[in-house]
């Protein structure tokens, strides 16, 4: 009678173990993306975001664009994600920028942004500029996050944000290399935008206890548990 109860309890424990050890799959992050340019100008002239990369299309390029008062050379966007080690990254770049907004001219040889995320660590981002200037004033090559400048200095018409970093409601970080907007509200240009994080880490591979070696392991644990309890019972009443 006692042995029967012991075996029943052990099988129940093994069944619980089988259920508890069933492997699950983590959803991959939908937040990783990057694009070269998004443009909104007076007279309802709009463009983008393009070229745009995400997990469905991890690299994207354009040879050049010419939209209203904005022209560029090559644009590129790239993302990557490795859920095995829990990392992801996004990068974007724009070459050969020449543009004006409300008559204020700005240019850059290169505008690059990137972000990097690792599971358990804060997501980080950065911007690199080469030969960038507004109204002949040189801009820093490695601007601090959320550097804000206004031009012209007297009676400014536009605001230029460099290395703009935005933490989104879903926890991801967006890094805009250069964000130029008209202070009047009509005109908005985003160049080299990267978004990533938080990084996703796959669960460790577990022994598939529902079949094969895993099933024998579970049954062995059950038998071992029953045998141990039976030996204790015999020692008590032997």
Would you list the domain boundaries of the chain? 2-22+209-237, 33-196
pLDDT at 208: 55
DSSP letter, residue 42: G
pTM across the whole model: 0.77
Q: What are phi and psi of 146, to 5 degrees?
A: 60, 40
Question: Could you list the mean pLDDT of each consecutive 10-residue stretch along the chain, which spans 238 residues?
Answer: 38 39 47 97 97 97 98 98 96 98 97 97 97 97 98 96 97 97 96 95 68 51 48 49
b/e sequence 83-105, b meaning 16+ C-beta within 10 Å: beebbbbbbbbbbbbebebbebe
Question: How many Å is the Cα radius of gyration of the chain?
Answer: 29
Extract the tokens encoding 61.
Answer: 């390029």
186: Cα within 13 Å, side-chain hemisphere? 6
Residue 189 confidence (pLDDT): 98
Closest residue by Cα to residue 152 from 131, 140, 135: 135
Query: Can you give the pLDDT at residue 113?
Result: 98
- What pLDDT does 183 receive? 97
* Predicted pLDDT of residue 166: 98
* Distance (Å, whole) CA 5 – CA 27: 42
**Interatomic CA distance for residues 13 and 35, integer angstroms:** 53
**Residues whose CB falls within 8 Å of the CB of residue 78, separated by 6 or more in sequence, listed in order:** 34, 53, 58, 59, 60, 90, 91, 92
């Amino acid at each position: 009678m006692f042995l029967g109860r012991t075996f029943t309890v052990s099988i129940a424990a093994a069944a619980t173990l089988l259920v508890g050890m069933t492997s699950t799959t983590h959803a991959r992050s939908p937040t990783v993306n990057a694009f070269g340019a998004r443009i909104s100008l007076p007279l309802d002239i709009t463009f983008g975001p393009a070229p745009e990369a995400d997990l469905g299309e991890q690299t994207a390029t354009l040879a050049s664009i010419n939209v209203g008062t904005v022209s560029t050379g090559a644009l590129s966007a790239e993302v990557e994600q490795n859920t095995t080690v829990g990392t992801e990254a996004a990068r974007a770049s724009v070459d050969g920028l020449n543009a004006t907004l409300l008559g204020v001219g700005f240019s850059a040889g290169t505008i690059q942004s990137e972000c990097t995320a690792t599971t358990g660590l804060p997501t980080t981002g950065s911007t690199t500029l080469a030969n960038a200037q507004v109204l002949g004033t040189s801009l820093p090559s490695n601007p601090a996050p959320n550097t804000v400048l206004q031009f012209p200095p007297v009676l400014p018409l536009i605001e230029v944000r460099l290395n703009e970093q935005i933490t989104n409601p879903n926890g991801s970080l967006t890094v805009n290399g250069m964000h130029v907007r008209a202070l009047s509200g009509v005109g908005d240009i985003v160049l080299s935008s990267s978004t990533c994080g938080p990084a996703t880490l796959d669960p460790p591979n577990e022994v598939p206890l529902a079949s094969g070696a895993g099933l024998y392991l579970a049954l062995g644990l059950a038998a071992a548990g029953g045998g141990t309890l039976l030996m204790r019972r015999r020692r008590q009443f032997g």
